[in-house]
Structure 1
């Protein structure tokens, strides 16, 4: 395993594109020998502290370091990636999608943020909403 394959989550900065983010997550998984999303890398890209990520995923903070493969944690991370992909597809800017995910309240969802909606298990509703925005912009 080469040293360049290792990504230090403590030094990680969100890349310019969604595709690069997924590549970085894959590189991290390959280096660790586990086909899972690294929660520390994910949190760092979103400028999220680990306690907030644990809370969003409804897991104990220790799970982020000792049970990274937890289905509950990995499920939250996968769903967050779905929403980030959909948001990036609409505006074409991954960093804008990151900001939107964490900070922008959506009136159609009682002014909850996308992050909160994913945490509450409403990913499908949110993705449909984002797709409807795209359809409206295109159609």
Structure 2
């Protein structure tokens, strides 16, 4: 299912591409929960909450549900970086800034609740406004 906002890989900055590559579990095709937690500046237990998985699931990076949720987080951060201009500000926004039109919840809270598409749609609208 296509989302309202897709990160255009050709437009993605080298910094963003480097960010995504830095999240890879060594010698696997998976996103590393430990590296995502480090990038977000959260403990693994908090990452499990944001991902909507049990903390023990983080011990199995190949878990399909875990990987789906980590990909959602990365997609939102990458989309936000298109607006903010850098990954650090996008991560800060993801964790801390309430989105007024989405019940004043942060992107992290919304992703945890399974509302990634709503966050991406919000970012798409902001990007369209910035470009239009």
| TM-score higher than 0.5 | yes
Larger Rg over CA atoms: 1
Count residues with an aligned counterpart: 119
TM-score scaled by length of structure 1:
0.80
| Residue 80 of structure 1 pairs with residue 80 of structure 2 | no
Q: Determine the C-alpha separation between the residues in 2 that align with 1:85 and 1:44.
A: 16
Specify every segment of 5 or more residues in structure 1 that has no aligned partner in the other structure, as ranges: 1-15
TM-score for the superposition, normalised by structure 2: 0.84
1:13-59: per-residue Cα shift (whole Å, max 9, x none)?
xxx93222112124xx3x3x321100000001110111111112222
Higher-RCO chain (CA-CA 8 Å, sequence separation at least 6):
2
Q: 61, 64, 71: which one pairs with 1:68?
A: 61
Q: Counterpart of 1:19? A: 17
Aligned to 1:132: 125
Structure 2 residue ranges without an equivalent (≥5): 1-13
Once the two structures are TM-superposed, the CA of residue 98 in structure 1 deviates from its matched residue by 0.5
Tell me how far apart the structure 2 counterparts of residues 70 and 125 of structure 1 sit (CA, whole Å). Answer: 24
Give the aligned CA root-mean-square deviation in angstroms. 1.5
Match 1:107 to one of 87, 100, 105: 100
Deviation at 1:73, TM superposition (A): 1.1
Query: Paired residue for 2:9?
Result: none
- TM-superposed CA distance for 1:128, in Å, is 1.0
Among 12, 33, 36, the alignment partner of 1:39 is 33
